[in-house]
Amino acid sequence: MNDAMQPSEATVQGAVRYEGADAQGIGLVVLDVPGQKVNTLSLALLPQFDATLNEALKDSALRALVVTSGKPNGFIAGADIKDLNQVQSAQDGVDISSGGHKAMERLASCGVPTVAAIHGDCLGGGLELALACTARVTSDSPKTKLALPEVQLGLLPGGGGTVRLPKLVGLANSLDMMLTGRTIRPKKALKMGLVDEIVPVNQLVSAARKLAVELADGKRPKRKKKTLQDRLLEDNALGRALVFREARKKVMKQTHGLYPAPLRILDVVAAGTYKAEADGFGALLMTAESHGLRHLFHCITTLKKFDGPDTELVQARPVEHVGMLGAGLMVSGIATVLADKGVTVRLKDLSLDAISKSIGYAKKVYRKGRRRYGQSGMTERLGRLSGGVDYSGFGQADVVIEAVLEKMDLKHQMIADIEKHTRREAIFATNTSALPITEIAAKAAHPERVIGMHFFSPVEKMPLVEVIVTDKTDPVVTKTISQLSRKMGKHVIVVRDCPGFYTTRVLAPYMIEAVYMMMEGYRIEDIDRAATEVGFPVGPITLMDEVGIDVGQKVLATMRKHYSDHMDFPPDHIQAFIGEGRLGKKTEKGFYLYEKGGRSKMDKGRKLVDESVYQHLPNGTQTRNADFEEMGERLVLSLVNEAVRCLEEGILLSAEAGDLGAVFGIGFPPFQGGPMRYVDRFGSRNITARLRDLELRFGKRFKPTAKLVEMGAHDLSFYGE
């Protein structure tokens, strides 16, 4: 092992302890890493775990072991990412995995039955440790989650999970967990055979002890019997080949082959050996894709600690009641998430019918989660939602969030009304895609209490909130809104105000480039394909249809007004689309064809373009052959250049915020780690040269920003890699 990879024992002294056998011969191994909110399996912890296990096995009274956590709300949250980021070769990765195999095998073959008592997060290496036990008991708490999420870091389970999990829950279930990183809740875990028992959290250790006694007495844990279908698919070579073939097809459809980890997982599970797992783990650790995804994890953990400028010495206000203006799709999503997290929400709209539809939206979302929190939980959440056509109930609002039409006069009126009908210190948060918050706050009596809170649709699924502060925003307001967003389960980036803020502003040149490509005669489906082939989840034309062609046109009008100095804007052909009621999916008439209800018309798995749109474009139906590589580069670099400009201008407060916001807000390819990480990966000198070449061919919109030119001249990077 490389010297840099040597574990530091001092950092986790006392992290594992043994509590001697009780009257029934059941000992307790407790993991409790000091100074950390959660347990992680670091390289330094494994020798301690082994030493503690040896100590336990010397106990002559020991008949069985229970392994549990000393943390109040977590079992083990996985491997320590810091260890992985020190890896300098594939062999280092192989050594880490092999070391994990030895530790888990030591537990699995220690000579006495073992039971994992699980409450809270049991992820990655934590679940692999539990899999090495004879049996598993979980709490029934909603905080308890089991998963093998390594694929989300561009990796595969490296502690024996690819071998042990299929034996326990079957091939199909195990592939689903490993290929998606999907979280498994206790009830589902019991049903699929991943755990043996579910109990209330206050009975967890006693139930685990009881099960350990039964195992010590020679009883075997009851295992789920395989269904006929499982036996046909998993217990013979032809069936297994079919499962792997279908899984590979699904992976390729979803990832376009851009992510090596899922494909390697399939190969490793098919091999079924610890050596294959270790080799795969080591190889994946060195891929650029894993580096990019682990960089995203770094961004997430870094930004969790940042609530905005000048917020270090202030306290956030508690938020128990939120007023919401409007009852459209965006407001419905925000209200649904707030009520789910325990916040009382009062809606106001011009019609009771709109209020009813908004609450109906929440009911539909909650119904999907009813298995997790039951009918009573659904009723409780709906009870936090109410609404009306006036401001009754707004007097107690701690925060008011508006998501009305993108009209400045209307925003000003909303602020004036709120300042009349809410208590003095209420915060006004505006959800807008592009209008400057400074202008929205200009007529407010208290501009220091006005802030931007930019959500992404659908709110209950999209993981980001962009918080926008002006020069007058009170740091207490900033911190309150940042923490409210995190309470909603969102990642937060705090940015300074400008038209379009960060996410809309960097998306604009990407969308503009797609419009230019349409004008040049590229086919609509080829433009979308160029984007998905470089890693965007959907193409820009599909995105226009999803968001609304009219909405996109309004945003581009704002961008044209403020950024014509460095952005080129094509002639407004989109206005003709709007004139004929072609607004996208919501009107079932856009760039693509739609069935009733907004479903895309398909042919052989591909969406069908509405060929009549070409009449509005300069070349009509005379289209040109696609150059997917060049088209993809134009789309990516237009966005990257503007992202760097936002950092240069101070709109972004950190490179991490730029990377996280681009990936989770607008779908920048996750495996690239974000625009700044993209520059570091390919080199600032190379990126600058590529932009200059595109500038010569396509104009000023590709002129590299001054920061990139300076970085390129000295071959500098954002993260010093």
Does the global pTM surpass 0.85?
A: yes
CATH class of the structural domain 504-650+654-714 = mainly alpha
Omega cis (within 30) before 458: yes
**All structural domains of the chain with their residue ranges:** 3-286, 321-498, 504-650+654-714
Q: State which H helix or E strand residue 695 sits in.
A: helix 684-698
DSSP string over 14-63: T-EEEE---TTSEEEEEE--TT-SS--B-TTHHHHHHHHHHHHHT-TT-S
Q: Determine contact, residues 478/311, Cβ cutoff 8 Å.
A: yes
Q: How confident is the model at residue 373 (pLDDT cuts 50, 70, 90)?
A: confident
DSSP string over 273-332: -HHHHHHHHHHHHTSHHHHHHHHHHHHHHHHTT--STT-TTS-PPP--EEEEE--SHHHH
pLDDT of residue 423: 78
Per DSSP, what are the bridge partners of residue 123?
147
Q: How confident is the model at residue 721 (pLDDT cuts 50, 70, 90)?
A: low
Does residue 195 have a pLDDT over 60?
yes
Q: How confident is the model at residue 3 (pLDDT cuts 50, 70, 90)?
A: very low
Count Cα neighbours of 510 within 13 Å in the Cβ-side half-sphere.
Answer: 29
Does residue 9 have a pLDDT over 50?
no
Q: Determine contact, residues 589/581, Cβ cutoff 8 Å.
A: yes
Long-range contacts of 318-322 (CB under 8 A, 24+ apart): 318/398, 319/343, 319/398, 319/399, 319/480, 319/484, 319/487, 320/344, 320/398, 321/345, 321/346, 321/396, 321/397, 321/398, 322/346, 322/397, 322/398, 322/399, 322/400, 322/401
Q: Determine contact, residues 154/181, Cβ cutoff 8 Å.
A: no
How many angstroms separate the CA atoms of 300 and 509, rounded? 26
User: Kindly report the CA angle at 445 between 444 and 451, in degrees rounded to 5?
Assistant: 50
Count Cα neighbours of 379 within 13 Å in the Cβ-side half-sphere.
Answer: 3
CA distances from 267 to 170, 271, 276, 703 (A): 16, 6, 8, 44
Give me the mean pLDDT over the 633-656 stretch: 98
Does residue 7 have a pLDDT over 60?
no
**Torsion on CA atoms 522, 523, 528, 529, rounded to nearest 10:** -90
**Torsion on CA atoms 478, 483, 485, 491, rounded to nearest 10:** 100
Q: Where are the alpha helices (DSSP H) in 68-160?
A: 81-85, 90-108, 125-131
pLDDT tens, 45-103? 999 999 999 999 999 999 999 999 999 999 999 888 888 999 999 999 999 999 999 99
Give me the mean pLDDT over the 130-142 stretch: 97
Give me the mean pLDDT over the 244-264 stretch: 95
Residue among 643, 669, 645 at smallest CA distance from 657? 643
Report the 10 Å Cβ neighbour count for 353: 10
DSSP letter assigned to residue 480: H
Q: Which residue has the higher pLDDT, 421 or 464?
A: 464
Q: How confident is the model at residue 553 (pLDDT cuts 50, 70, 90)?
A: confident
Does residue 517 have a pLDDT over 60?
yes
pLDDT tens, 657-695? 999 999 999 999 999 999 999 999 999 999 999 999 999
How many angstroms separate the CA atoms of 707 and 572, rounded? 31
Choosing among 3.40.50.150, 3.30.460.80, 3.30.1490.20, 3.90.226.10, the CATH entry for 3-286 is: 3.90.226.10
Q: Determine contact, residues 206/115, Cβ cutoff 8 Å.
A: no
CA distances from 129 to 68, 114, 116, 288 (A): 11, 11, 8, 28
- In degrees and rounded to multiples of 5, residue 199 shows phi and psi of -140, 160
Q: Determine contact, residues 59/97, Cβ cutoff 8 Å.
A: no
Residue that has been written with the tokens 């870094």 in this structure? 302
The two structure tokens encoding residue 526: 């080829």
Q: Is 3 exposed, middle or buried (0-12, 13-18, 19+ CB in 10 A)?
A: exposed
How many angstroms separate the CA atoms of 228 and 238, rounded? 15
pLDDT of residue 275: 98
Q: Does residue 721 carry a catalytic annotation?
A: no
Does residue 2 have a pLDDT over 60?
no
Q: Is 11 exposed, middle or buried (0-12, 13-18, 19+ CB in 10 A)?
A: middle
pLDDT tens, 323-356? 999 888 899 999 999 999 999 999 999 999 999 9
Report the 10 Å Cβ neighbour count for 390: 8
pLDDT of residue 342: 96
Q: Are strands 385-388 and 344-348 parallel, antiparallel or unpaired?
A: parallel
What superfamily would CATH give domain 321-498? NAD(P)-binding Rossmann-like Domain (3.40.50.720)
Residue among 660, 701, 292, 654 at smallest CA distance from 503? 660
- Selecting among 402, 466, 642, 656, the annotated active-site residue is 466
- In degrees and rounded to multiples of 5, residue 568 shows phi and psi of -90, 140
Long-range contacts of 250-257 (CB under 8 A, 24+ apart): 251/179, 256/532, 256/533, 256/535
pLDDT of residue 11: 52
Does residue 4 have a pLDDT over 70?
no
Give me the mean pLDDT over the 460-489 stretch: 97
Does residue 441 have a pLDDT over 90?
yes
How many angstroms separate the CA atoms of 426 and 429, rounded? 10
Does residue 557 have a pLDDT over 90?
no
